[in-house]
Amino acid sequence: ANFSEQVVESFPSDISTGIYYGWACVGNGDVHKMVLSIGWNPFYKNIKKSVETHIIHTFKEDFYGEILSIVIIGYIRPEKNFDSLEALISAIQEDIEEAKRQLDLPEHLKLKEDNFFHLREGEIVNH
């Protein structure tokens, strides 16, 4: 799930590029573990900064146009380039496993229930 350029531009300018983990919620749905990439994705030679969310859940249908709410909990590693698509895929799988381990910790699990994910309809918060 990629954020629009407008949302990416509203991210704090001092946030480091790299791979993060946290919680994500689509619309008013359930809260799931996620991995977040912030940066230029050097493997794909992007010229614009992007923020891409990988929700660790299989959805039954597309959710284009839905509100995506995220809470970033921690940092996994810096952004880097890869020699091959296979190396990139392997790193992504390692990032997902690290995110799962971290988010299972009690201090991170409790944030899954944060009121941020249960806003009243039409209320948007940008922390």
pLDDT digits (tens, 9 = 90+) for 68-88: 899 999 999 998 888 898 999
**pLDDT averaged over the chain?**
87
Domains of the chain (ranges, CATH numbers): 5-117 (2.40.30.30)
Distance, in Å, from the CA atom of 33 to the CA atom of 36, rounded to the nearest integer, reads 10
94 is catalytic: no
Maximum alpha-carbon separation in the chain: 46
The model's confidence at residue 32, banded by pLDDT at 50, 70 and 90, is very high
Which residue of the set 5, 9, 52, 94 is catalytic?
A: 52
DSSP letter, residue 99 = H
